[in-house]
């Protein structure tokens, strides 16, 4: 999706989780994240129940019990930060967050995660230094460091990574083994850079040729084929030990309005949703997807309130949690998009997203306001302590499942140089048509 992330003379309009049509890989269709150690530290695998002392708290329980309310609220947020090192002093960070460097923003808001954009990417060694520095800035709980590396049109790390083809090109091959292999290779390259969460794969079924925001980012227009490809991609990311995100629930495929600039309305009936939109998300959940991203779309037959799915409890909790049985992390799409900001201010949007069932609040337009609003809602009881703990537990569980609670991962520039654009990955890209 397009996310407007610049002020003070710098306007960067970047394709992000929801993305945007047009443009070339690694570019925006409108024009416009200490030296690394020599080796990659190997995270200790999470302890299995059999390995734990009977009755002893789990790593997730220990982490949760050691957090203040302010720290718990901070875990929900994943903003974009400015600078190419964790210690880079930026007027943008100061203006937006009243903290000069990325590391200081992480510490000030007790952030659970950070999302990287092309502005944060200069070289392999620089990105490794950035991700390591960000992790050092998070004193208690390691960060989720995410990006949108769908390949094809939306490729944040294209300056450094293998140029794999996008989903539509892979979907046309009907080769699920290829989809899994490309996702695995993509995940391996991201992990080598210190990124542990990818906002991919796209699980939308692109049934509207006039769709300005999904298009070639989808695996195709056949629900069953898309479902098989999405399932394979989720498994590929898991093979690489990186978290995957299926997006954009409940399905962004049949719209002619871009949710970056407007609020699309999907007119599918419940039966049509079951037949067209639901299969890829069901397949992703069955494959063990770590997260599902909401869409800023109105779906009147699923929720007549007029609120976008991101703010809809009937959709996020009633449909995704209860009907489909998803137990992982629900992420919002970027909260600075027009589709999320039609009816409420930036603080109320964040509160309503949590009440709807979201766990990860991605790129709020005004982080200080959103953070204060959620914290105030918790202290007033509007958001119960139990509800807050549910979201933080899911986020911590994702981190535990990916080895993060055992210790912050440490990326290595030397190792990354051997993984990124390796001969094997370039050969795979050629086989995929890249």
Options 28, 277, 333, 359, the catalytic residue: 333
Report the candidate in 310, 399, 302, 389 with the shortest Cα–Cα distance to residue 357. Answer: 310
Catalytic residue status for 333: yes
Catalytic residue status for 296: no
Place of tokens 């703010």: 311
Q: Which residues of 74-103 are buried (b: 16+ CB within 10 A; e: fewer)?
A: bbbbbbbbbbbbbbbebebbbebbebbbbb
Q: Are strands 291-294 and 243-249 parallel, antiparallel or unpaired?
A: parallel
Q: How far apart, in whole angstroms, are the C-alpha atoms of residue 132 and residue 339?
A: 34
How many residues are recorded in the chain? 434
Options 110, 252, 260, 296, the catalytic residue: 260
Pull the structure tokens for residue 82: 């400015």
The SS3 of residue 283 is helix
> Is 18 in contact with 105 (CB distance < 8 Å)?
no
Place of tokens 């919002």: 332
Report the candidate in 168, 280, 147, 181 with the shortest Cα–Cα distance to residue 224. Answer: 280
The percent helix, strand, coil of the chain (3-state, each to 5) is: 45, 10, 45
Q: How far apart, in whole angstroms, are the C-alpha atoms of residue 108 and residue 410?
A: 22
Q: What angle do CA 403, 407, 409 make, to 5 degrees?
A: 75
Positions annotated as catalytic residues are: 260, 333
């Amino acid at each position: 999706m397009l996310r407007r992330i610049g002020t003070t003379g710098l306007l960067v309009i970047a394709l992000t989780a929801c993305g945007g049509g047009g443009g070339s890989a690694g570019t925006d269709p409108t024009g416009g994240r200490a030296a690394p150690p020599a080796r990659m530290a190997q995270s200790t695998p999470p302890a299995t129940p059999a390995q734990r002392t009977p009755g002893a708290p789990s790593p997730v329980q220990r982490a949760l019990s050691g957090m203040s309310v302010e720290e718990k609220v901070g875990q929900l947020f994943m903003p974009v930060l400015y600078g190419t090192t964790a210690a880079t002093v930026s007027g943008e960070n100061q203006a937006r967050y009243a903290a000069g460097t990325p590391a200081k923003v992480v510490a000030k808001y007790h952030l659970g995660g950070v999302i990287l954009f092309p502005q944060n990417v200069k070289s392999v060694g620089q990105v490794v230094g950035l991700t390591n520095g960000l992790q050092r800035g998070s004193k208690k709980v390691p960060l989720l460091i995410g990006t949108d590396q769908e390949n094809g049109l939306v490729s944040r790390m294209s300056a450094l990574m293998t140029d794999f083809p996008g989903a539509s090109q892979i979907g046309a091959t009907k080769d699920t083994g290829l989809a899994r292999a490309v996702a695995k290779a993509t995940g391996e390259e991201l992990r080598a850079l210190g990124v542990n969460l990818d906002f991919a794969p796209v699980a939308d079924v692109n049934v509207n040729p006039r769709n300005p925001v999904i298009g070639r980012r989808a695996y195709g227009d056949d629900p069953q084929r898309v479902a098989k490809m999405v399932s394979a991609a989720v498994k590929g990311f898991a093979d690489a030990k990186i978290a995957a995100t299926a997006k954009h629930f409940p399905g962004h495929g049949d719209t002619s309005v871009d949710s970056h600039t407007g609020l699309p309305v999907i007119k599918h009936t419940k039966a049509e949703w079951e037949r067209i939109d639901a299969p890829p998300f069901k397949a992703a959940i069955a494959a063990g997807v770590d997260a599902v991203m909401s869409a800023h779309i109105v779906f009147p037959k699923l929720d007549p309130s007029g609120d976008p799915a991101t703010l809809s409890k009937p959709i996020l909790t009633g449909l995704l949690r209860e009907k489909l049985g998803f137990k992982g992390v629900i992420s919002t799409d970027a909260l600075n998009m027009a589709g999320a900001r039609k009816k409420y201010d930036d603080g109320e949007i964040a509160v309503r997203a949590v009440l709807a069932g979201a766990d990860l609040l991605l790129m709020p337009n005004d982080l200080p306001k959103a953070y204060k609003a959620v914290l105030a809602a918790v202290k007033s009881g509007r958001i119960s302590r139990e509800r807050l703990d549910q979201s933080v537990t899911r986020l911590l569980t994702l981190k535990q499942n990916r080895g993060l609670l055992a210790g912050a991962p440490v990326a290595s520039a030397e190792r990354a140089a051997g993984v990124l654009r390796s001969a094997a990955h370039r050969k795979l890209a050629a086989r995929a048509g890249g």
